[in-house]
Amino acid sequence: MGKTSRGSARPAKFGLLTGLLLGWAFLVGTGFSIGGQALKGQAGLISGLIGAAVTFLFCGSTVIVMWATRNKPVTVQSIGLVASWLVKMVVLLVALGARYGERSYDKTWLGVTIIVGLVGSLALDAWTVMRARVTTGDT
């Protein structure tokens, strides 16, 4: 009874990864919104919230794509991951382009928030991949 099947361990790992990534997005959003308010005023607060939303979008969509393609071949997973990154970049560029020239947010603080959020997200992704025990050959 102490043994668990491989299928039952996967939801726990998925839940851990999801919790870590979404927790990171929450920490970035909270920390940079409070810090932005303290350092840059309302423009910093808005920048922190926008940066947190971008981090949440990037973290959440990666988890969703990997979960949706979990039983697919590696090529399908790779295509899904690359396609999701392309979509995220387009969404980010459109969102930033739509707000270009507005003074309601601080561009520097927004950039710092997004960079810290995405680097942290990539670090969590890399940590998860390095700890995974996944066979790469056909069995």
Domains contained in the chain, number: 1
11 vs 26: CA distance, rounded Å: 22
For residue 59 the two structure tokens come to 């973290």
Cβ contact 61:88 at 8 Å: yes
- The model's pLDDT over 31-71, given as tens digits with 9 standing for 90+, comes to 877 887 788 888 888 888 888 888 778 777 877 887 888 88
The top-scoring range by mean pLDDT among 22-31, 36-45, 97-106 is 36-45
Range of the domain at 94: 13-129
**44 lies in a domain?**
yes
37 vs 99: CA distance, rounded Å: 19
**135 lies in a domain?**
no
pLDDT at 138: 63
**60 lies in a domain?**
yes
The whole-chain average pLDDT of the chain stands at: 76
The torsion region of residue 107 among left (phi > 0), alpha (psi -120 to 50) and beta comes to alpha
28-32, 120-124, 133-137: which has the minimum mean pLDDT? 133-137
Inform me whether the pLDDT recorded for 8 exceeds 50. no
Q: Show Cβ contacts of residue 60 under 8 Å, excluding neighbours closer than 6 positions.
A: 21, 22, 25
**110 lies in a domain?**
yes
**4 lies in a domain?**
no
**137 lies in a domain?**
no
Cβ contact 57:88 at 8 Å: yes
Residue 118's nearest CA partner among 63, 58, 62 is 58
Inform me whether the pLDDT recorded for 73 exceeds 60. yes
**91 lies in a domain?**
yes
pLDDT at 1: 44
pLDDT at 14: 61
What is the average per-residue pLDDT within 113-117? 83
**3 lies in a domain?**
no
